[in-house]
Structure 1
Amino acid sequence: MKSIHSRCRRFALRGALTLALAALMPAWAMAQAYPSRPIRIVVPFPPGGSTDVLARRIGEKLAVAFGQPVIVDNRAGAGGTLGADHVAKSAPDGYTLLMGVTGTNAISGALYPKLPYDVAKDFAPVSLVVSAPLVLVRHPGFAAATVQEVVAAAKARPGSISYGSPGNGTSMHLTGEMFKLSAKASLLHIPYRGSAGALTDLMGGQIDTMFGDFLVVWPQVEAGKVMPIAVTSRQRHKMLPNVSTVAESGYPGFEALSWQGLFAPAGTPPAVVDQLNREVNKVLASADIQEYFGSRGFTLGGSSAADFGTFIRGEIDKWTRIVKASGAKPD
């Protein structure tokens, strides 16, 4: 009888091990075969913008590396959250990815009370791709040429010094709010529908300052139509070596980056995420990608998936604090 019981236990143990292995097999098999069909990178903005260009340049190289087409799918709307939500609800198999940005994957969670996805839980971070500081720029006729002078003017005339942004809730708007909170100074926010309108009015003298994307303001800085006051990274920018950072101008720790990164839906097998991460990092290290984006003011990313996840959690925490403290609302 004891022998029969022993055999039964052995059979039960083998059965349990078989079931466990069977449960692991689909994910393992998928990771081994990945990718076996086209990959889509969802860009949550219209064609032609920096996020779109970035996705297409990286997608071309990933297609060669993987031997599979990589298709860019523009799904614009609702400040980028429409495309992000589509990816969040896609199958977690590595075939639908998101080129996410500061707004879609950090700010939106605090800004939109009824956001249909969770910025912290619904994505598997793959890799930081690029980042760049914002540049605090001024109209040449605005006399305050340093951060200290801007703050002094704002404190002397509360609410009279203006800064423009591409709209309520954008990273440029919230960087201005972070600046106001850090400096304990009152500046007047003027929202526009896009960076072009804000920059046009800045050059025309209708507004005093703005925090602008490096890529957007750099040509006008070169042309002398706007003047740089400071950059929002912790270190000075290589293309503006003589321009101070906000942090070194009296506000240690101040940092606001415009970044873009690749995300998969939560639940994507770690082996697939790791494979994507390795190939993306190889692409970012290639000489032509370094030259193309580096010459446009970007810092190329390249990170482990775990490090990118840590970075994202820090960004979510930071922008949540700023949204709550400033009372910022979306358009």
Structure 2
Amino acid sequence: MDGSTLRRRSLLAGGILLIASSGRGRAQAYPGRPVRIIVPYPPGGATDTIARLLAQELTRTLGQSFVVENRGGAASITGTQAVATAAADGYTLGIVDTAFLVNPGLFGDRLPYDALRDFAPVSLLVRAPLALVVASQAPWRTVAELVAHGKAKPEDIIFGSAGNGTAVHMAGEQFRQAAGFAYLHVPYRGGGPMFTDLLAGRVQMAFGTVPAVVEHVRAGRLRALAITGAERSALLHDVPSMAEAGFPQVDAALINALIGPAGMPEAVIARLAEATRTATLQGMSARLAELGFHPVGSTPEEARETFQAAIPRWARIVREGGIKPD
């Protein structure tokens, strides 16, 4: 091997080491200033709660302020678009929920971003199963009784949701398609007014997060018939899962994930993902359990795979249900 070849190889190896050390340097230097986390909803909801818990943990572990910014509106599209169009430097992040996965099928070409192309997934955060609940005045005490009534007299069942395309609406549609029954769907502008009518008996059936319904169920104001997915809830351990009720495909849940704009440096994504997994599975875990959320924590690749699988699945349910945005 001649001297010029050795010199070329030395230069190449030096370049590779320089690139690698530069990547590590960016990751170690990040974050060098406050980071904003955009929540595409008003303050006070489940996604906002998760975001604030995560911001506290990341502030503590990464040594810079992580500040939550609420940008509600347009079925979460306004805030999510703000993430897509932000500088891809790691200083603008977003927390998304199930609507992020449903909206591509619901809005199609009207969506101002591509949910897969325009974002960098960082980590899945939590998963929260939903409870199928009925008004206390309703006659049904099992899923089978509800389904049988819906097949015989669908006009008797009013299903309330927090709006078209929301996680609770999609749970109801997934259940309807799986069970082959019918109901009258009434979308509300938010979960608050829907639950008001459910408690008053003007709505007979709904889905809600377990923390949102548990006290009403325990007090006898609502009756829980099933929990979505394969497992029971620790907060409502006497209520069967949808799998136990005979509908394992009804697994709709509220999920939250941390994302950033596409093009973020890989070293920054890796640092954020590691800190987020630690926060979710350790620092936040006790509080999340109290709130009825299942900590997930994931790699960026696992988050992307979840998005890639869920978006077409929800699009099919939207299409087969003939669902249109409000």
Per-residue CA deviation, residues 250-307 of structure 1 (Å, 9 max, x unaligned), is 22332111011111111212221111111111112335x2222211211112122222
Equivalent position of 2:322 in the other structure = 327
Equivalent position of 2:272 in the other structure = 276
State the TM-score, normalized to the length of structure 1.
0.90
Q: Higher mean Cα deviation, 289-298 or 131-140?
A: 289-298
Query: Does the 8 Å CA contact 1:232/1:255 hold for their aligned counterparts?
Result: yes
What is the aligned counterpart of 2:166 among 158, 170, 173?
170
Query: Does the 8 Å CA contact 2:124/2:258 hold for their aligned counterparts?
Result: yes
Root mean square deviation, CA, Å: 2.3
Equivalent position of 1:143 in the other structure = 139
Q: Which amino acid aligns with 1:43?
A: V
What is the aligned counterpart of 1:58 among 19, 40, 54?
54
* Runs of 4+ off more than 3 Å: 9-29
2-side partners of 1:227 and 1:24: how far apart? 58
Q: Secondary structure at the match of 1:127?
A: strand
What is the aligned counterpart of 1:107 among 96, 102, 105?
102
Quick one: structure 1 residues 300 and 29, their matched pair in 2 at CA, closer, same or farther if it must change by over 3 Å? same
What is the aligned counterpart of 1:127 among 123, 129, 132?
123
Q: Does 2:314 correspond to 1:311?
A: no
Q: Secondary structure at the match of 1:151?
A: helix
Equivalent position of 2:183 in the other structure = 187
Q: Which amino acid aligns with 1:326?
A: G
Equivalent position of 1:300 in the other structure = 295
Query: Does the 8 Å CA contact 2:214/2:235 hold for their aligned counterparts?
Result: no
Per-residue CA deviation, residues 180-199 of structure 1 (Å, 9 max, x unaligned), is 11111111111111111111
Q: Secondary structure at the match of 1:76?
A: coil
2-side partners of 1:73 and 1:267: how far apart? 22
Query: Does the 8 Å CA contact 1:192/1:198 hold for their aligned counterparts?
Result: yes
Equivalent position of 2:199 in the other structure = 203
Per-residue CA deviation, residues 156-215 of structure 1 (Å, 9 max, x unaligned), is 113331110011121211211111111111111111111111111111111111011223
Q: Secondary structure at the match of 1:224?
A: coil
1-side partners of 2:163 and 2:266: how far apart? 37
Residue 13 of structure 1 deviates from its aligned partner by: 9.2
User: Aligned residues, how many?
Assistant: 324
1-side partners of 2:25 and 2:292: how far apart? 41
2-side partners of 1:121 and 1:25: how far apart? 28
Q: Which amino acid aligns with 2:222?
A: V
Per-residue CA deviation, residues 211-255 of structure 1 (Å, 9 max, x unaligned), is 112232222122221010111122111111221122221223321
2-side partners of 1:205 and 1:286: how far apart? 41
Quick one: structure 1 residues 178 and 285, their matched pair in 2 at CA, closer, same or farther if it must change by over 3 Å? closer
2-side partners of 1:140 and 1:77: how far apart? 33
Equivalent position of 1:160 in the other structure = 156
Query: Does the 8 Å CA contact 1:234/1:253 hold for their aligned counterparts?
Result: no
Unpaired runs of 5+ in structure 1?
none
Residue 107 of structure 1 deviates from its aligned partner by: 0.5
Q: Which amino acid aligns with 2:207?
A: F
1-side partners of 2:50 and 2:44: how far apart? 10
Q: Does 2:244 correspond to 1:252?
A: no
Q: Which amino acid aligns with 2:245?
A: S
Quick one: structure 1 residues 26 and 330, their matched pair in 2 at CA, closer, same or farther if it must change by over 3 Å? farther
Query: Does the 8 Å CA contact 1:195/1:216 hold for their aligned counterparts?
Result: no
Per-residue CA deviation, residues 88-119 of structure 1 (Å, 9 max, x unaligned), is 1112221111111110x201111113001111
Residue 152 of structure 1 deviates from its aligned partner by: 0.2
Q: Secondary structure at the match of 1:79?
A: coil
Q: Which amino acid aligns with 1:111?
A: L
1-side partners of 2:175 and 2:288: how far apart? 27
Q: Secondary structure at the match of 1:82?
A: helix
State the TM-score, normalized to the length of structure 2.
0.91
Unpaired runs of 5+ in structure 2?
none
2-side partners of 1:195 and 1:253: how far apart? 24
Q: Secondary structure at the match of 2:168?
A: helix
Quick one: structure 1 residues 11 and 292, their matched pair in 2 at CA, closer, same or farther if it must change by over 3 Å? closer
1-side partners of 2:111 and 2:16: how far apart? 37
Query: Does the 8 Å CA contact 2:161/2:206 hold for their aligned counterparts?
Result: yes
Q: Percent identity?
A: 38
Residue 48 of structure 1 deviates from its aligned partner by: 2.0
2-side partners of 1:254 and 1:25: how far apart? 48
1-side partners of 2:21 and 2:274: how far apart? 23
Equivalent position of 2:38 in the other structure = 42
